[in-house]
Amino acid sequence: MDYILAVNNLKISLLPIIQGCNQTKTVFENVSFHLKSSESITIMGPNGSGKSLLSLSLVGLLNKEIAEVKGEVRLNGNNILIFNDHEMCSVRGHKIGLILQDSMSSLNPIQTIEHQIKESVIQNFKSEKKCLKNSLIDSDVDDLLELVNLPTTKVFKKSYPHQLSGGQKQRVAIAQALALKPSVLIADEPTSSLDKDSKFLLLNLLLKLQNEYKFSLIFISHDQQSVDYLKKPIFDLTPTGLIKRPQDNQVVNPISTQQKQTIEVFKRILTAQKLEIRRDNNLTINVEEFSVNRGEIVGLIGPNASGKTSFALACMQLIPYIGGLYFCDQVIKKIKNINDYYRNVQLVFQDSLSTFNPLLRVFESITEGLKVFEPSLSDNEIIQKLDFYFKRFQLSIDLLQRFPFELSGGQRQRLSLIKSFLINSQLYFLDEPTASLDRENKNILNEYLYESTHLHQKSFVIISHDENFLKSCCHRIYCIEQGQLNIL
C-alpha cells in the first residue's frame, strides 16, 4: 500500500546537557504510524510526553545537539531523516508543513504581517515556477488572510506581531503554513489561543482545505472538544509508542458549589471604574466596573482580539488608560513606589516562550523575580521553594538546568506559572494558563488555585477561552464583547 508518510520505530532521546554526564534520556521509542493522502490522525498525550519533539523531528527541525532521532520517517518513500540540510529545505514547508504551538516562535517580531505571509507566498510561487507578479502575490496574501478569518485592510497587514492578539498571531502562522500548500500538515496545538467561535471556524477551515487539497493531517492537541469535533483516529503518545484509543469526553473535574461557598471573600483588592483602554488610538475596551476580592478567582472570557490581554496590561500599568484603577483602595497611578505594586501583583503572559530569556537556563530565569523581591533568601531556601512547586506541578527538578527551547509547551507553561507563584504576591493575572496543559495538569492547577484562595486568601484573574475550566474554578466570570466588559 502506498503511504504519503510512513513513520517506523521512531525513537527520540535527549542528549546530556550537563557537562560530565554521559547518560541520555529516552523520551519515547517504537513510535510508528502511516498516512495515506488526505488521511488524518490526532495525537494526544500528557505534557512532556514528547508531542512537540515528534512534530519537530518530522520536519527536520530538532536540534541535533540536544536530541538524537532514530528510526525512519519516509515521505513519499524517501527517508528524510538521512537528508542533509539542503535536501531537507526542499521538502520542509512544501511537502510537509508545521504549524508551531507557540505562534511567536514562527513570526519575526521586526517584520510586518504582510511581509511575512508574502515571503511564504513567494516561496510557493518559486517552487511552482509561477511568475513573480506583485498583483498575483498580493492577491494570494489577501486570500490567505480571508481563509484564516483575518482582516485584509492595509492597517492590519502593516501590523507587527506584538500588535496582534494571541489568536491573531496563531492564525497568521497558519496562513504562512498554508501558503506553501504542503502534502502533509502537522498542526501542533493550533486552537490553543483561539476563542470558541474562532476555534470551530479554524477546524472547519482545516477540514475544508484538507478536502480540497487532499493533504494528510497530523493534529496534536490537548483540547478534547477540538479532537471530538474532527472525528479522527486518536492516538496516545506513550514512552513505548502510540496507542490507539476511543474518544474520551471527560473534562476537568469542577470544584463543587459547596466548595466555592466555603471560600471567604474579604475586602476588594482590585477595582476598575469607568475605565477606557485605547490601542493605536482606537477604543479597545470600555469598563464600567470590575472588581476582584481577596480570596477570589475571577474569570475573563471573550473573542480573540476583544481586548482581554489589553485589560490585563492596563492593570499592570504597561499600556495607557483613562479612568480609575485601584489596588487596595489606592489609585494605582499614585502609588509612589511602583515596585511595591509589582511585588503584590503578577502577570503570567499567554506566550510562555516569551517569558524566558533564551540564553538563560531555567533556574536563572524563574528565580530572577524571587531574588529581586526577596534578596535575603539563602540558596537553600530558594531550592526548598523550587522543590515544593516542582513536586506540586509534577515537574522534574532536572529541568532547572535546561534551556527554554529544550522544554515542551506544557513544561514551559507550568514553569511560567511557578516563576510568578514563587513570589508571594496577593493578586495574579493568568493569561490563558491552560492553553498548553493536558487534562491532568489542568486539574493540578485547579486544585492549587482552590488551596491558594481558601488557605492563603490569594486572588486570581484568569483570562481564558476554556469555558469549562473557568466554570470549574471561578466565583464570577466577566465577558468582553464589542468593546464592553460585563459580568456574565
- Helix (H/G/I), strand (E/B), else coil: 17: coil
Per-residue pLDDT band for 21 (boundaries 50, 70, 90) equals low
Q: What is the pLDDT of residue 158?
A: 94
Q: How far apart are CA 12 and CA 326, in angstroms?
A: 51
Half-sphere exposure of 56 (CA within 13 A, CB side): 23
Contact (CB, 8 A) for 296 and 476: yes
Q: Taking CA 377 as the corner, what is the angle to CA 376 and CA 381, rounded to the nearest 5 degrees?
A: 165
Q: How far apart are CA 224 and CA 432, in angstroms?
A: 17
Mean pLDDT of the chain: 86
Could you read off the pLDDT of 25-43 as tens digits, one per residue?
899 999 999 999 889 999 9
Per-residue pLDDT band for 20 (boundaries 50, 70, 90) equals very low
pLDDT at 169 over 60: yes
Contact (CB, 8 A) for 190 and 202: yes
Which class for 246: exposed (0-12), middle (13-18), buried (19 or more C-beta within 10 A)? exposed
3-state secondary structure 138-197: HHHHHHHHHHCCCCCCHHHHCCCHHHCCHHHHHHHHHHHHHHCCCCEEEEECCCCCCCHH
Could you read off the pLDDT of 63-101 as tens digits, one per residue?
888 889 999 999 999 999 999 988 998 899 889 999 887
pLDDT at 460 over 90: yes
Q: Which three cell numbers stand for residue 340?
A: 511595591
Residue range 130-153: mean pLDDT, rounded: 86
Q: How far apart are CA 197 and CA 200, in angstroms?
A: 6
Q: Which three cell numbers stand for residue 169?
A: 498571531
Residue range 14-34: mean pLDDT, rounded: 78
- List all residues 6 or more positions away from 448 whose beta carbon is below 8 Å from its beta carbon: 392, 393, 421
Contact (CB, 8 A) for 305 and 150: no
Among residues 182, 1, 6, the alpha carbon closest in space to that of 79 is found at 6
Point out the least confidently predicted range of 127-131, 282-286, 415-419, 453-457.
127-131
Among residues 160, 146, 171, 147, the alpha carbon closest in space to that of 114 is found at 160
pLDDT at 264 over 60: no
pLDDT at 318 over 60: yes
Per-residue pLDDT band for 126 (boundaries 50, 70, 90) equals confident
Q: What is the pLDDT of residue 429?
A: 97
Q: How far apart are CA 161 and CA 171, in angstroms?
A: 11
- List all residues 6 or more positions away from 339 whose beta carbon is below 8 Å from its beta carbon: none
Q: What is the pLDDT of residue 111?
A: 94
Q: How far apart are CA 42 and CA 119, in angstroms?
A: 29
Domain with CATH 3.40.50.300 in the chain: 5-245, 257-487
Per-residue pLDDT band for 260 (boundaries 50, 70, 90) equals very low
pLDDT at 189 over 50: yes
Point out the least confidently predicted range of 98-102, 344-348, 363-367, 380-384.
98-102
Per-residue pLDDT band for 266 (boundaries 50, 70, 90) equals very low
Half-sphere exposure of 402 (CA within 13 A, CB side): 19
DSSP letter assigned to residue 16: P
Point out the least confidently predicted range of 282-291, 371-380, 442-451.
282-291
Which of the pair, 231 or 106, is modelled with greater confidence?
Answer: 231
Among residues 180, 174, 171, the alpha carbon closest in space to that of 120 is found at 180
Estimate to the nearest angstrom the gap between the alpha carbon of 237 and the chain centroid. Answer: 19
Per-residue pLDDT band for 243 (boundaries 50, 70, 90) equals confident
Protein fold of 257-487: Rossmann fold (3.40.50)
Per-residue pLDDT band for 248 (boundaries 50, 70, 90) equals very low
Q: Which CATH superfamily is domain 5-245 in?
A: P-loop containing nucleotide triphosphate hydrolases (3.40.50.300)
For 210-238, letters b (16+ CB in 10 Å) and e give beeeebbbbbbbbbbbbbeebebebbbbb
Q: What is the pLDDT of residue 212?
A: 79
Kindly report the pTM of this predicted structure: 0.62
pLDDT at 458 over 90: yes
For 326-360, letters b (16+ CB in 10 Å) and e give bbbeeebeeeeeeeebbbbbbbbbbbbbbbbeeee
pLDDT at 153 over 80: yes
pLDDT at 257 over 60: no
Per-residue pLDDT band for 350 (boundaries 50, 70, 90) equals confident
pLDDT at 436 over 90: no
Residue range 319-344: mean pLDDT, rounded: 91
Q: How far apart are CA 447 and CA 393, in angstroms?
A: 10
Residue range 269-290: mean pLDDT, rounded: 85
Give the strands of the sheet with 476-481, arranged side by side: 330-331, 321-327, 268-279, 282-293, 484-487, 476-481, 297-301, 459-463, 427-431, 345-348
Q: How far apart are CA 190 and CA 103, in angstroms?
A: 9
Q: What is the pLDDT of residue 164?
A: 87
Q: What is the pLDDT of residue 219?
A: 95
Q: How far apart are CA 420 and CA 429, in angstroms?
A: 10
pLDDT at 323 over 70: yes
* Alpha helical stretches, state H, 221-373: 224-230, 257-262, 308-315, 338-344, 362-366, 368-373
Contact (CB, 8 A) for 449 and 480: no
Per-residue pLDDT band for 293 (boundaries 50, 70, 90) equals very high
Could you read off the pLDDT of 105-115 as tens digits, one per residue?
778 989 999 99
Q: What is the pLDDT of residue 98?
A: 92
Contact (CB, 8 A) for 303 and 481: yes
- Helix (H/G/I), strand (E/B), else coil: 366: helix
Which of the pair, 482 or 22, is modelled with greater confidence?
Answer: 482
